[in-house]
């Protein structure tokens, strides 16, 4: 006779944003937390936070030797990679362990370390132990996509999960992909003195960005790194310690191969369909506006259920799910109406709302303004020649439809445009309804808005 699953009031699968579901509302609930890796999820351990710590060091390294036009002579004397890695993970790893230790210390929380799989309706199995919950939250995130390329299964490769813990810098790094992960990590390793090659089937990098931003970014990066773009990949091979990516146009060889070809949700890996939970054709868990799945009292949040795959959207989801479980008569929908994002490469990129190509494809009328940093006093002081802010607005309502910035401080400069977008301000109100500090770089935003 099989043993009945252990019963909990709430089961949370994944301890990234899912860990934050446990608000004080659940202090008296019997809770199970399941984590197959380390506490904190992708953002803390393998994504946002460590990558930006590497990016900051890379920014400092990249500037060295590039200040002569300002009358400042500088050189990069060296990069101590093991110290950089130690600084990053010496700070991060204790946070992850501390989070797990804290959850273990709570009387009402049971932590299960292991790979969870659904084995029946609302029944999970972890290390041979079965459990179920009145409420189940699917917060298991996403993982790097491994493309089906001939020969790839026969060569060593890294993903963003592993490459930041390399023991030493390679001489030559080949990056497969052209999105934000490739852009950020390409900047990191190039700035550290590695010869970086980026191989991408598209002829542009960051092709999901606004077309003018993507084109400008591609041009700038191609001046720094070897970019093999716009050619189908035939396969991958290894000869000795050298790994070669074969494209129809040419071969690209390096010591280390990094796959940065996107991320896929973990719903199928978790076996959610065995519990009756629906997946869409891309593998994302299907939810309604309140993040309920089609199975009663099974919820989903973050990367497992929508393609935005951003920490700030996952946090918004978490707040909604926690509230909705605790207050079933007062359901709240997360606000995904204006999801901003940024790419912390060099140059930086930030955006909110629609791209120009998306508006054009929909046949939606729009007004457009593009202003370079060099039109502002601070941009002039920087002698910047490539950065710009672009704004798109509805010609009738005068409200912002999209905003896109490429250049230094882009993720910071975009914030006031995010606020205006979210609260329905007109471009006139944003441009004239406040004073802009002179000569701050924010004047590039003011000038772009005024042009509309």
CB 283, CB 267: distance < 8 Å: yes
Distance (Å, whole) CA 266 – CA 264: 7
| Residues belonging to the active site | 438
Angle, helices 180-191 vs 211-224, to 10°: value is 30
Taking alpha carbons only, the member of 14, 251, 44 closest to residue 112 is: 14
C-alpha atoms less than 13 angstroms from C-alpha of 373 in its C-beta half-sphere = 22
Cβ–Cβ under 8 Å, residues 288 and 305: no
- Phi and psi of 414, rounded to 5°? -70, -20
| Whether 341 contacts 411, CB under 8 Å | no
């Amino acid at each position: 006779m099989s043993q009945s699953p252990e019963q909990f009031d709430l089961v949370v699968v994944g301890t990234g944003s899912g860990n934050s579901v446990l608000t004080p509302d659940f202090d008296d609930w019997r809770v199970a937390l399941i984590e197959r890796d380390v506490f904190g999820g992708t953002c803390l351990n393998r994504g946002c936070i460590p990558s930006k710590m590497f990016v900051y060091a890379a920014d400092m390294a990249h500037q060295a030797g590039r200040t002569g036009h300002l009358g400042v002579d500088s050189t990069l004397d060296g990069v101590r990679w093991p110290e950089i890695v130690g600084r990053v993970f010496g700070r991060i790893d204790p946070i992850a362990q501390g989070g797990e230790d804290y959850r273990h210390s709570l009387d009402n929380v049971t932590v299960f370390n292991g790979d969870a799989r659904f084995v029946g309706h609302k029944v999970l199995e972890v290390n041979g132990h079965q459990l179920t919950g009145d409420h189940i939250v699917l917060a298991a995130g996403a993982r790097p996509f491994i493309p089906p390329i001939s020969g790839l299964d026969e060569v060593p490769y890294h993903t963003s999960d592993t490459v930041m813990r390399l023991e030493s810098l390679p001489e030559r790094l080949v990056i497969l992909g052209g999105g934000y992960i490739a852009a950020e990590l390409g900047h990191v390793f190039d700035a550290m003195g590695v010869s970086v090659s980026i191989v991408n089937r598209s002829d542009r990098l960051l092709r999901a960005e606004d077309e003018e931003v993507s084109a400008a970014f591609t041009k700038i990066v191609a001046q720094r790194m070897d970019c093999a773009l716009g050619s189908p990949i035939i396969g991958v091979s290894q000869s000795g310690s050298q790994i070669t990516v074969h494209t129809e146009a040419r071969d690209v060889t390096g010591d280390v191969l990094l796959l940065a070809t996107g991320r896929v949700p973990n719903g199928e890996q978790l076996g959610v369909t065995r519990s009756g939970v629906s997946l869409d054709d891309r593998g994302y868990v299907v939810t309604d506006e309140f993040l309920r799945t089609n199975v009663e009292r099974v919820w989903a949040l973050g990367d497992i259920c929508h393609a935005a795959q951003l920490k700030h959207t996952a946090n918004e989801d978490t707040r909604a799910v926690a509230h909705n479980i605790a207050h079933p008569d007062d359901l709240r929908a997360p606000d995904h109406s204006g999801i901003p994002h940024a790419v912390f490469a060099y140059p930086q990129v930030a955006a909110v709302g629609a791209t120009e190509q998306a508006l054009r494809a929909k046949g939606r009328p729009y007004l457009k303004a593009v202003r370079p940093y060099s039109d502002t006093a601070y941009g002039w002081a920087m002698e910047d020649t490539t950065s710009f802010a672009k704004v798109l607005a509805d010609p009738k309502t005068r409200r912002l439809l999209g905003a896109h910035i490429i250049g230094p401080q882009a993720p910071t400069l975009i914030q006031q445009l995010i606020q205006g977008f979210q609260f329905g301000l007109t471009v006139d109100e944003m441009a004239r309804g406040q004073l802009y500090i002179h000569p701050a770089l924010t004047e590039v935003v003011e000038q772009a808005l005024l042009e509309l």
